[in-house]
Chain A
Amino acid sequence: MNHPIRSRVLPLVLLLTGAAVILLPFVWMLSLAFKPRDEIFTTTIEFLPSQIEWSNFTFALTETDIPLFLWNGLVMVTGILFFQILFAVPCAYALAQRRFAGRGLLFGLVVAALLVPFHVTAIPIFLGFAQIGILNTMWALILPFIQTAFGIFLFRQFFAQLPADLFDAARVDGMSETAIVWRIAFPLALPAATAFAIFSVTAHWNDLFWPLIATTDPNLATPPRGILYFRDQESGDNVGPLMAAAVIVTAPLVIAFLLAQRKFIQGIAAGGLKG
């Protein structure tokens, strides 16, 4: 009776400590976002504000460019995801279900490309974009990411599990290869697509590196880039609205992840699909 409880205590304590360490900055952010200005800088540590202060949020949403940054982030992330899916799904289908010379080599290259970090190609891409003059446009934020070795790899692994008969049946039924990709393969790959979408959206929503390099126009700033402007403007003395802005920027991801959690885990596990 005593034993099972004791054996659980240690892992539980460790997990709680770990969770506390990871969550602390978020809790602090939330706490600051809801605190009145005079409670932010105090000598004691108070997690709970004496009263809920919404003015930080109203300030962030009305007096600053946060809504614009959110909009920019949304456009960029949707654009990237749209093109990634548009190109990765047919590529993955071809690699998994079509036979052609050099298929193995091509897939090997995709896998190799997984190993190349974006930072390696960032400078050549920057120079190229400068040449064709699309720096400081939304396209400069979207185009570098539309080819995704990771996406091709993820979808290919998924399509490779599907029985070849299924695609032959579709051919006999009169579907073109393009129709097969979008009407048969893609709907079946929705769990994988959800997982991929979360990876992609999180990575690009949070990305500061590339927006910092490719854009200088404040009107094109994505949320992380925007918060940077915001901090500069306010020189750090307006922490409340800054934290409120941070909450607003973080919230969409957290909510999206919670909603798609089950599909996400399904997609990662990419379990067998029975027809």
Chain B
Amino acid sequence: MSAILELRDVTRRFGDKTVLDKVSITIAQGSFTALLGASGCGKSTSLRIMAGLDRPTSGEVLLGGSDVSGLSAYERNVAMVFQSYALYPHLTVAQNIALPLTMRHLSALGRVPFLGSLVPGAAEARRTILSKVGEAAESLGLAELLDRKPGQLSGGQKQRVALGRALVRDPALFLLDEPLSNLDARLRIRMRSEISALHRRTGKAFVYVTHDQTEAMAMADQIVVMIGGDVAQAGAPRELYERPANRDVAAFIGHNAINFLEPGDGIDVDGAIVGLRPEDLAPAATGALTGRLESAEYLGSEIVLSLRSAKGTEIRAIAPADFDVPAPGSEVRLGYAPHKLHLFDAATGVRRRTTP
């Protein structure tokens, strides 16, 4: 698939501080890419550079194959959804959604109230805008709210208006900057599927910035993990989960935080650090790994065990719900499948090519 957007060796410095260090990211046509990372890793800066709201110190931004470094956000025809929604408080929902279209279709004179209707073509353009706004509002379930001001909307509704404003202009690319982080957990999951549905319906590429790996895993077909202003790994969610390129990515991806076992903790492979996910580690009578039980959390579908190795490293394992939890302090044997081990170089943290 061809690339709609490409960052090539993009570096961005603010004063002495290097926020992005030769970052290269490729966004395929129609894909859903998540930029995932902790705050301050440069993911939002990357997005702003894609949008044209920020300029790289060096490097290239290619949109549809041509260099757009000199173009403004508007000229790139990208749509952006902000974390704070960034709705215009003094305009109604309808005016908020219509704004990108009025800027495009009406001349400065045509935008003036009353007088504007005298400008040739303005009435026609207004009708087009009105029908497009109606369509977008309908598809997002906002038809009832068109005359409200943003102050009268709930968080979820504001987010929909922000999506509507992005949708209505038919952009080449959607950029979303942590759009769900201001919503409560339940609403977040619902909006997640709505955004996925929107992606399928438009068929346009989405770039989605988030610090929540669950969101990234659930929605994206490509995840770009950014750490400290660098792309740590880019790939499909499954690839990142099954073959994390280094310790940091392994620590970031996965619902349960991965265990890192040092040599002497019970699994020794040429002095490598061994990564083993809790969900790949379960109590087994003949298990090779032992640990002293510290606590157990019963979650209904499973039990999360916290243990400590002889050396003192914390190990977390997941037992089936019917597991008979022994008293704290007792020895528990844990089993795992050898191919589930992730080996990382002790010095660099980079994944080792060969798995035993």
Contacts and interface: CB of A to CB of B under 8 A. Distances in A.
Given A168-B82, A275-B84, A173 B165 contact: yes
Given A173-B99, A174-B74, A174-B103, A168 B88 contact: no
Interface in A155-207: 163, 165-166, 168-175, 179, 184, 187-188
Contact of A274 (B73, B88, B89, B100): B89
B86 A168 contact: yes
B91 to A, nearest CB: 8
B83 interface: yes
A166 B86 contact: yes
B85 interface: yes
Q: Taking chain A's interface residues, is the majority helix, strand, or loop, or is none over half, making it mixed? A: helix
Given A175-B103, A275-B85, A169 B90 contact: no
A165 B86 contact: yes
Interface string B168-190: 01000000000000000000000
Contacts of A274: 89, 151
B80 A168 contact: yes
Interface in A117-165: 163, 165
A19 interface: no
A173 B169 CA distance: 9
Contact of A172 (B51, B83, B84, B151): B51
A188 B90 contact: yes
Contacts of A171: 53, 72-74
B238 interface: no
Given A168-B82, A173-B99, A184 B73 contact: no
Interface in B67-98: 72-74, 78-80, 82-90
Interface string A94-107: 00000000000000
A179 B89 CA distance: 16
B103 A173 contact: yes
A169 B86 contact: yes
A147 B6 CA distance: 46
B104 interface: yes
Interface string A106-121: 0000000000000000
B82 A169 contact: yes
B150 interface: yes
A174 B86 contact: no
A179 B53 CA distance: 17
B100 A173 contact: yes
Interface in A261-275: 273-275
For chain A, give the interface size range.
10 to 19
Contacts of A179: 103
Contacts of B85: 165, 275
A275 B89 CA distance: 5
Contacts of A169: 80, 82, 86-88, 165
Contact of B78 (A166, A170, A172, A184): A172
A175 B100 CA distance: 8
A98 B104 CA distance: 24
A172 B89 contact: no
A166 B80 contact: no
A168 B89 CA distance: 14
Interface string B38-59: 0000000000100101000000
B79 A174 contact: no
Given A172-B79, A274-B89, A274-B151, A163 B73 contact: no
Contacts of B51: 168, 172
Contact of B89 (A165, A173, A273): A273
Contacts of B89: 188, 273-275
A260 B36 CA distance: 50
A179 B108 CA distance: 9
A163 B100 contact: no
Contact of A168 (B53, B87, B103, B151): B53
B86 A163 contact: yes
A172 B104 CA distance: 12
A131 B345 CA distance: 81
B220 to A, nearest CB: 22
Contacts of B169: 173
A274 B151 CA distance: 7
A175 B99 CA distance: 9
Contacts of A187: 90
A188 B100 CA distance: 19
Contact of B84 (A165, A174, A273): A165
B104 A275 contact: no
A166 B53 contact: no
A89 to B, nearest CB: 15
A187 B79 CA distance: 24
Nearest to A167: B86
B87 A275 contact: yes
25 contacts: A165-B85, A166-B88, A168-B73, A168-B80, A168-B82, A168-B86, A169-B86, A169-B165, A171-B72, A171-B73, A172-B73, A172-B74, A172-B78, A172-B80, A172-B100, A173-B74, A173-B100, A174-B104, A175-B74, A184-B88, A273-B89, A274-B89, A274-B151, A275-B86, A275-B88
Given A169-B87, A274-B89, A275-B85, 4 more contacts: A165-B82, A169-B88, A174-B103, A184-B90
9 smallest CB-CB distances across A and B, nearest first, come from A174-B74, A169-B86, A174-B103, A165-B86, A173-B100, A165-B82, A275-B89, A172-B73, A187-B90
